[in-house]
Amino acid sequence: MTIKLDRKLIEESCKKVLTDIITDNKLLREKLSFKEHVALCDRVSKLSYNEAVSYISNNGELLDEIGIRAFEKKFRVALKYGLAAAAGGIISAPSFVLAPVAMFTYFLFRKLTDPCWKECKANIPFGLKKKLCQDECYVRAAEKIVKNIRSQRSRCRVTLKPLKCEKGLNKEYIKWSKKLQVYLVRLQKTQAKITAKRGA
């Protein structure tokens, strides 16, 4: 699958992962006040592309343009070889250091949903039918992500770090399976509202 590199989506994917880390980190929740926690999330939302990529791939040490290009090259390779490559590395590239697999799944999810959303917006200006269209976009994209993760798990054995790969993909599989269930419930509620409106 050939996917065009999109800097804006990479930036948003990095920020999403960083926000998830902040939100899920028990130590941060205990040490920071609510106000500090909100301020930290706000700070992440204002990161530049270079800052976001640097936090994800270089432990926050700011990358120069050469470092950014190297990251983007690795990103392209990971997209080309799939989520297993992102989670466990690639045999032919022992120095291949990558961002968390969560960033790649979010990037792929947005690549799947953004065109669908734009089509819904262009063809259905408002109302429940627009919401139905958008809910269907989420469900289809989440189904593809879950299927992609499931198919990639068998490829972990040919990565540099098979156990890390399996652990990373299993974590993403559970997360995206739950997201899919949420999107399915949301879709069913929208369908029920449309059915009720027709019956009224």
**Residue 94, pLDDT above cutoff 60:** no
Out of 89-98, 120-129, 153-162, 171-180, least confident range: 89-98
DSSP lists the bridge partners of residue 90 as 93
* Whether 142 contacts 109, CB under 8 Å: yes
Question: Residues 21-40: pLDDT tens digits?
Answer: 888 888 888 888 989 989 99
Q: What is the pTM assigned to this prediction?
A: 0.81
pLDDT at 4: 64
Out of 52-61, 74-83, 181-190, least confident range: 74-83
pLDDT at 95: 40
pLDDT at 48: 94
C-alpha span between 72 and 70 (Å, rounded): 5
pLDDT at 192: 93
pLDDT at 92: 44
**Residue 147, pLDDT above cutoff 70:** yes
Please give the C-alpha separations between residue 163 and each of 15, 42, 116, 150, 174, in angstroms, as whole numbers.
26, 34, 35, 15, 17
Question: Residues 154-189: pLDDT tens digits?
Answer: 888 888 888 988 998 999 999 999 999 999 999 999
